[in-house]
Amino acid sequence: MTRISIVIPCFNSAHCLRETLEHALAQTAPAHEILIVDDGSTDDTPELVRSFGDRVRYLRQQNRGPAAARNHAIEQATGDWIAFLDHDDLFLPEKLARQGAIAEAHPELVAIYSGFTYLYPDGSRADAAAFPARDLWPALRYRTPILPSSAMVRRSALRQTASWPRSVIAQRLPARPYSATFIAQWFSAAGRLGPLRAQAYQGENTLPICAMMVSPCAPSSLSASTYHHA
């Protein structure tokens, strides 16, 4: 069975982290473990995470940015795959089940990702299709076509590529703090592991399996895989 570690970096996330954790814990195929890396929060994030007891692993570090937090979690993780999850995004119930099944069916893969759904403050939604895997290279040289929270990456591949490059750990991009680091990470993986189009898989269709919130932690009602609050 594929062991999947969910990795969640956070900083002052008490206002929305509970919903993220509840959806991570509600997977139809439970995660091997859920790691929270608190990047030096000064709000009630530690108390909130500890309220979940031993269902999550809580790690804390001095504030060094989301890339350093992810590196810390990757080093501590014991799963075969790392499922990235931002503190204000949500996994739909079958996210891990569907991607885990793909990982088992295609042992040659190092990365699996999907489309996602935007959640807007007024309650509306908009689906974003997965970027075609065949076009990842050279697209990854110029931008990040993969939402981190939709991605699952083989842990051994991350360790082989030195995880999130230290040269960009300190970079801060207010709107999308993961952009520069994710570009560098995928570029590194592509260079060391061969053409990504042969090693990444965006699914047999473009249905979203996660969600991205379009305003900070807008209330949501989920039924389908990743949502993103923006």
Q: Is 228 helix (H, G, I), strand (E, B) or coil?
A: strand
Between CA 138 and CA 141 the distance in angstroms is: 6
Its pTM stands at: 0.79
Confidence of residue 225 (pLDDT cuts 50, 70, 90): low
CATH class of 4-229: alpha beta
Any idea how long the chain is? 230
Kindly report, residue by residue over 99-150, the tens digit of the pLDDT: 999 999 888 888 888 888 888 888 888 888 888 877 877 777 777 788 889 9
**HEC string for 190-218:** HHHHCCHHHCEECCCCCCEEEEEECCCCC
Map tokens 């991350």 to a residue.
158
Residue pLDDT, tens place only, 179-209 = 334 444 544 444 443 333 334 555 443 445 6
Name the residue among 12, 35, 145 with its Cα closest to residue 81.
Answer: 35
Q: How far is Cα 64 from Cα 71, in angstroms, rounded to an integer?
A: 11
Query: Which residue ranges make up each domain of the chain?
Result: 4-229
Average pLDDT (7-17) is 95
